[in-house]
Structure 1
Amino acid sequence: MCSSSRFLQRNPSPILFLERRWRKMYLWFSTLEKGQKNKILKICEAFGANRYPFAEDLGKQALMITEVSGRISELKTTIDAGLLQRDNLLRTIGDQFEQWNLKVKTEKSIYHTLNMLSLDVTKKCLVAEGWSPVFATKQIQEALQRAAFDSNSQVGAIFQVLHTRESPPTYFRTNKFTSAFQEIVDAYGVAKYQEANPGVYTIVTFPFLFAVMFGDWGHGICLLLATLYFIVREKKLSSQKLGDITEMTFGGRYVIMMMSLFSIYTGLVYNEFFSVPFELFGRSAYACRDLSCRDATTVGLIKVRDTYPFGVDPAWHGSRSELPFLNSLKMKMSILLGVAQMNLGIILSYFNAIFFRNSLNVWFQFIPQMIFLNSLFGYLSFLIIVKWCTGSQADLYHILIYMFLSPTDELGENQLFPGQKITQQVLLLLALVSVPWMLLPKPFLLKRQHENRHQGQSYAPLESTDETLLSVANNDSHGHDHEEFEFSEVFVHQLIHTIEFVLGAVSNTASYLRLWALSLAHSELSVVFYEKVLLLAWGYNNIIILIVGIIVFIFATVGVLLIMETLSAFLHALRLHWVEFQNKFYEGDGYKFYPFSFALLDDEDD
């Protein structure tokens, strides 16, 4: 078809062209001798060439040309009709392709599910076993009854609940607001069945920790406006195919909305609007002693009013004491937030142990971990609060360091409350005792439980035990088949777990200092863009330089602070939840419940 169409395009008079070619070939062939003609005929036979008769009479030649011309015309008409039919068919298929594709996927999914069913012993019905949420039991029964009635089935569907020791899948009921937060947790690992779900706490803690690093209510308003665009147009955008980055942003629109709202709150606490302070909650508590303090090079501020009612006093911004003050404030605040969240994680491990009736984890994991963490860093948090309340000039880091190096030395100026020396010695002793408390008893008790279980003694076995610690074959029908208890493996595992927690208590607390570092970095970048770009351009008194400065300021703010800093703070908040918070209680070794649904076929690949 293609070669014929190109031939017709190059030769607008194909009949005349063929007639001339034939005549030339005939005249050339007629001039050959008989032997040469025979050689040419043999060559054609050897190569399988087609030979067509061509009469010497001019009248017969004209008839043949007319006949060939008619065939060519018929072929051209056929080709044109075929091209038109092809275009119409492809246009029809293009209009209905999505519907046909969905129907094919639906049929494939149905037959794929039916292939997983097994025949009954009578081979007259199919038997299916699967997981379903408890709340959906009534809906499943109604759907089976309705299907049997619609199909005029002579045998009704029987729905029966089976009891099994197999671990069920995990299913959390979410909506468009909570689904994105749950995806953040599931990206780390799916919770095992009935394990405490950190997604509930992530809804608040994740955007808050992000906002601590991104605290600027001007930037928070910009993020909020961008997110409201996705939320207002979510019905239209959800039905469209977006790019990868846009799709990811649209899917996390409610996460970004919470992040922006918390950023506005922390920005008001920091009193920063694109690095510019405002007296939003009253006048500053400080005033200049003389004119020398206005150049922000000396500390000439005196307190003339009550303390600023909310957030950081605007008088700190631009003074020489701003950076030391904010350094101290944000560093101590990061430690307080970190210790509070790690304590929450350990408390959740207690509820996991109680729910799964694992008393060993309560006595030899939860209690010593709480003692160790709070004897050191909980005590440091207490000292920070006491120092803030009393206005003491004690060096907290000196106190904590010499609490280990010289616990019997006098504190002197670093004493914050009576009996502090004795308290520190008791806390240090508790921290040291908690380490062997975590390490030694649990492996020996697990070994004892294993021996009692094999000897058939009347001992109440542990309903839920760490499978990596207790390697026992769980087989009710063959209770005598058990694997040997590997004490060395259990002890090494417990040793690794203890070392990981002890070292992690230090490294995880230090890791929360990223809240302080990123917050200061964001604030200082805002100051640089405001003073070195916008104010510098304003000082030239030139409209062109001012416009260029405003454009550069906008692009720098959007590109660096609203995109790169947002992504950076997001990733750091993600790390704090996955590593510092969830590793205290969350195993995440379950598997997700995927129900059979036609609504999910559009998002699935073949």
Structure 2
Amino acid sequence: MATIFRSEEMTLSQLYLQPDAAYSTIAELGELGIVQFRDLNPNVNAFQRKFVNEVRRCEEMERKLRFLEGEIKKDELSLTEPHENLDAPKAREMIDLEAIIDKLDHELKEINTNADALMRNFNELTELKYNLAMTQAFFQDAQQIGMNSSENILEQNLDSVDQYSTTVTVGMKLGFLSGVIARDRMNGFERMLWRVCRGNVYLKQAEIPQLIEDPLTGEKIHKTVFVVFFQGEQLKTRVQKICEGFRANIYPCPENSNDRRELAMGVMTRLEDLNVILRQTHDHRQRVLLETSKTIRTWQIKVKKIKAIYHTMNMFNNDVARKCLIAECWTPNSQIQTVQLALRKGSELSGSGSVSSVLNRMITDEQPPTHHKLNKFTQGFQNLVDAYGVATYREINPMPFVLITFPFLFAVMFGDAGHGLVVTSFALWMVLKENSLKNKWRKQEVWTIFFGGRYIILLMGLFSIYTGLIYNDVFSKSINIFGSSWRVKFGDETLNKSDTVILEPTSYNYSRTSEYRQMYSGAPYPFGLDPVWQLAENKITFTNSAKMKFAIIIGIIQMGFGVDMSEVWVEQGIHTIEYFLGCISHTASYLRLWALSLAHAQLSEVLWHMVFQIGLSMNGYLGGIASFLVFMPWSTLTVFILLLMEGLSAFLHALRLHWVEFQSKFYKGEGYPFVPFSFKTILEETPFDT
């Protein structure tokens, strides 16, 4: 029988599954999440197991689904999330699912390949269009140069720095190459032409005004159209190699103006046709991706469940003689009947006939796993305990005690009602919005830690408000709710004698208030610390003494808790000295409650006096403006230093007090957790990208 103090009783069971019914039976058990299977093939390589081919097929489907999901996100389409729990598909449905995914993967890749080829062709034609449009003036100059070159020597100086010049023989025909190059490579391209060709080329260039897409990279960049005039095949070869080295795209350009005009018209016609084809291709791609986005999450869940089933079946023994699969699993005693019902249901769904799977309870000396029944409130506190060590099977579970003592000890060190209110507000926001926040930043590790411990933070904040009211600390200031029990009745003569006066704790008569000279009402402040201590010069001395006594009292109470006196007499009789020394050192360790509480209060007071009080000390409009200006740095320092840094410090010290001083008296923590085969857990541990 399970209680909140001990783990559930477990049973090791042996399952005899018919091969035809094994898949559907494991699917039913995965939906329930109440059995932990043991690997009966620990020495068998993962690639040599019975269902390794099915697992590989699932991994291939997952790869294709990731590709499809990436394409959907690239087009900024939304994914439809399933709103209900999806049952694992039947074994025979895997082939149909695989065919659908493979068809979509092949179709989308073909669309992408065709679209890339069309876009590359479109970009090349776009560059050719600019090349033809901007070289008309180049050829007019070239014709003039060609006419002069029949009588004169071609001499062009392209670089005023080097001052090279070369002459070519008269009567040779001019050749040329035209193309497009990235604008940032143009200067280096020009210098390389000059030096390699020794100045025997003529270069003309013009910048394309708008960004165009590079046919090779698909990146939009600024480009420049160029024409290089030269004489001779040797120079032509050099120019071609330089163009290749600078990744310049060379395009054909006829010498005759009529041919250029016809080519330009043909290019424009082809561009219009390509625009129509590209739009149709894009529309077809959008339709395919839109339909895929509606069902891809469903497919991903189904594939994960199929893969989990076959991965689990790989842990079973294959009994050839009996023609069955043998599995071993740990099951809570309270769930045995549920498992048997799942076995019968799995056999019925598989249509294996009257032969049902068999559950055989085994007797073993092996230590069972530890399983505690938890909910979302207690899960965080159980995680704190399990971080020290998972409870041994049927061992006392400290979690119910930690649930109260941990936030209380934290609050003793963190005690400030104002800071506690901020912490409570943050935790309450996470608790009230947990459904919408659950998957929002799940990839952020820090956020996951905070969200997982939202109920711990909530109790820490509530207890901090409680201890803060006892300390009468609200952002390092005291509040006067019930009226102070002290009265100041000194005359001017007494006050002028000394800078410091002492209030005597003697009671006065309420019925004769006009005559009393006593300072104390005779009744203490109803709840917490009297606010008059905020004005006292010996405040630190008093609070220091009070908090130290609190720490000792709390330490002795918690050190005495969890100790069985009969065990003390029997087991510790031999180790008396060691035991009592340990008790003394552990009890002294609780003085950290006093030290951290005092440090937190003093640091909070320092921030108030050094920052916020600057604005409050000024009068008039200037004081209001100054208070507004200093509030931001004060609140920032309060959050980062007092709430985060001091809060983390108090958290770690409270954790140490529970792990070392409290749990070490009775808790061994030498067990291992119960990890059931559960589809819900598998889907939560491997979330989809969002």
Task: Quickly name the TM-score band, shorter chain normalised.
Answer: 0.5 to 0.7
Whether the 8 Å contact between 1:279 and 1:314 is mirrored in structure 2 is yes
Residue 248 (structure 1) aligned with residue 465 (structure 2) = no
Cα deviation digits, residues 202-257 of structure 1 (max 9, x gap): 00110000010111222222222222212221222224334333332222111111
Q: How does 1:379-394 map to 2 (within 5 A)?
A: none
1:12 equivalent in structure 2:
129
Q: Partner residue of 1:530?
A: 608
* Structure 1 residue 585: Cα displacement: 2.2
Task: Give the one of 526, 537, 559 matched to 2:640.
Answer: 559
**1:316 Cα shift?**
2.6
2:307 equivalent in structure 1: 108
Residue 679 of structure 2 corresponds to residue 598 of structure 1: yes
Give yes or no for contact 1:181–1:199 (8 Å, CA) kept in 2. yes
Taking the aligned partners of 2:311 and 2:525, their CA distance within structure 1 comes to 68
CA deviation after TM superposition for structure 1 residue 265, in Å: 1.5
State yes or no: 1:137 paired with 2:369. no
Higher share in strand: 2
Aligned to 2:319: 120
State which drifts further: 313-322 or 136-145: 313-322
| 2:650 pairs with 1:579 | no
Q: Structure 1: 5+ residue runs without aligned partners?
A: 22-26, 30-35, 41-61, 351-360, 370-433, 436-497
SS at match of 1:130: strand
The 5 Å alignment of 1:189-588 reads 189-242=389-442, 243-281=444-482, 283-284=484-485, 286-288=486-488, 290=490, 297-304=500-507, 305-347=522-564, 364-366=570-572, 434-435=576-577, 498=578, 504-541=582-619, 542-588=623-669
Cα pair distance change 1:234/1:67, threshold 3 Å: closer
Letter in 1 for 2:553: L
Aligned length: 449
Q: CA deviation at 1:275?
A: 2.3
1:62-84 CA-to-partner distances (Å, cap 9, x unmatched) read 99999999999988877765555
Contact 1:120–1:127 (CA<8 Å) still a contact in 2? Answer: yes
Counterparts of 1:210 and 1:28, CA distance in 2? 90
**Aligned match for 2:367, one of 150, 161, 167:** 167
Give the residue type in structure 2 aligned to 1:151: S
Gaps of 5+ in 2: 1-116, 140-172, 176-232, 238-260, 508-521
8 A contact 2:615–2:624 mirrored in 1: no
Q: Post-superposition shift, 1:90?
A: 4.5
Stretch moving more, 193-202 or 66-75? 66-75
Q: Name the CA distance, whole Å, in 2 between partners of 1:245 and 1:80.
A: 45
| Alignment check: 8 A CA contact 1:227 1:256 kept | yes
Percent identity, aligned pairs only, is 40
Q: What letter is aligned with 1:578?
A: W
How many Å separate the matches in 2 of 1:67 and 1:240? 53
Higher RCO by CA contacts (8 Å cutoff, separation 6 or greater): 2
Letter in 2 for 1:274: F
Structure 1 69/9 Cα, relative in aligned 2: closer, same or farther at 3 Å? closer
After superposition, the C-alpha distances for 1:112-154 in whole angstroms (9 at most, x for unaligned) are: 0111111235342211111111221122122222222222222
Distance (Å, rounded) in 1 between the aligned partners of 2:418 and 2:263: 88
1:296 and 1:234 mapped to 2: Cα distance?
A: 56
- How many Å separate the matches in 2 of 1:85 and 1:239? 32
CA distance in 1: counterparts of 2:666 and 2:538, whole angstroms: 41
Quick check: 1:288–1:302 contact (8 Å CA) kept in 2? no
Is it true that 1:149 corresponds to 2:326 in the alignment?
Answer: no
Aligned partner of 2:360: which letter? Answer: Q
Matched residues in 2 for 1:87 and 1:15: separation? 35
1:179-202 residue CA offsets vs partner (Å, 9 max, x unmatched)? 110011111211111111111110
Residue 266 of structure 1 and its aligned partner are, at CA, apart by 1.1
**Secondary structure in 1 aligned to 2:339?**
helix
Shift of 1:99: 2.8
Amino acid at match of 2:311: H
Q: Give the counterpart letter for 1:601 in structure 2.
A: I
Q: Cα–Cα, structure 1 residues 14 and 194, in superposed 2: closer, same or farther, change >3 Å?
A: same
Equivalence for 1:383: none
Are 2:413 and 2:597, in contact at CA under 8 Å, matched by a contact in 1? yes
Q: 1:605 to 1:367 in 2, by over 3 A?
A: farther
Amino acid at match of 2:548: M
Alignment check: 8 A CA contact 2:126 2:271 kept:
no
Q: Following TM superposition, by how much is the alpha carbon of 1:310 offset from its aligned partner in structure 2, in angstroms?
A: 2.9
Query: In structure 1, what is the Cα distance between the partners aligned to 2:490 and 2:410?
Result: 40
Q: Which amino acid aligns with 2:121?
A: S
Asked whether the equivalents of residues 281 and 308 of structure 1 are also in contact (C-alpha less than 8 Å), the reply is: yes
Task: Determine if contact 1:198/1:582 at 8 Å carries over to the other structure.
Answer: yes
State the secondary structure of the residue aligned to 2:505: strand
AA of the residue aligned to 1:561: L
The CA deviation string for residues 146-173 of structure 1, in whole angstroms up to 9 with x for no partner, is 2222222222121222111111111111
Q: Which residue of 1 aligns with 2:378?
A: 178
Deviates more, 1:204-213 or 1:329-338: 329-338
Q: State the shift of 1:528 in Å.
A: 2.1
What do residues 400-435 of structure 1 show as CA deviations (whole Å, max 9, x unaligned)?
Answer: xxxxxxxxxxxxxxxxxxxxxxxxxxxxxxxxxx23
CA distance in 2 between counterparts of 1:570 and 1:246 reads: 17
Distance 1:11 1:63 in 2: 13
SS in 2 for 1:267: helix
What is the DSSP-based 3-state SS (H/G/I as helix, E as strand, rest coil) of the residue aligned with 1:126?
strand
Query: Who is 1:438 aligned against?
Result: none
CA contact (8 A) 2:615 2:630 kept: yes
Query: In structure 2, do the counterparts of structure 1 residues 297 and 173 end up closer, same or farther at CA, with 3 Å as the change threshold?
Result: farther
CA drift of 1:111 comes to: 0.3
**TM-score normalised per structure 2:** 0.56
Aligned partners of 1:322 and 1:64: how far apart in 2?
95
Kindly indicate which of the two structures has a greater share of residues assigned to helix: 1
